[in-house]
Amino acid sequence: MIRVNCSESDGHITHLEVRGHADYAAHGEDLVCAGVSSIMFGLCNALDEIAGIETIKADQNLITVHILKPDQTTDTIMRTGLIQLMTVEEQYSQFIKIQLTEE
């Protein structure tokens, strides 16, 4: 199961953490994992290239993004990624769960 934790503060997404494996298919053939990974690495690349955000950590089975000074640009990137993750969750809810919290 992929677990996504997203925190929002004062209307800004400030934290996004994705961990685990979907176990939808065999390793290397798991479309859910591949989709989530693509979304997250695209989000991280956009934050780095467009917003200059470098508070991103990627380890084995874990990607964490912290936005220390959120603005309209970071919100747009983070919300776009979250909407994409929610779209995956709509189709594959037994393999990915998203939890949203307000700080």
Q: Is 1 part of any domain?
A: no
Structural domain range at position 75: 23-94
Question: Which residues participate in catalysis according to the annotation?
Answer: 21, 33
Gap between the Cα atoms of 42 and 94, Å rounded: 24
Q: Is 47 part of any domain?
A: yes
Q: What 8-state DSSP symbol labels residue 33?
A: H
CB 78 within 8 A of CB 43: yes
Percent of the chain with pLDDT over 70: 99
Q: Is 101 part of any domain?
A: no
Q: Half-sphere exposure (CA, 13 Å, Cβ side) for 14?
A: 11
Q: Is 12 part of any domain?
A: no
Q: What is the pLDDT of residue 51?
A: 86
Q: Is 100 part of any domain?
A: no
Q: Is 14 part of any domain?
A: no
**Number of structural domains found in the chain:** 1
Tell me the pLDDT tens digit for each residue of 27-59: 889 999 999 999 999 999 999 999 887 678 888
Q: Is 4 part of any domain?
A: no
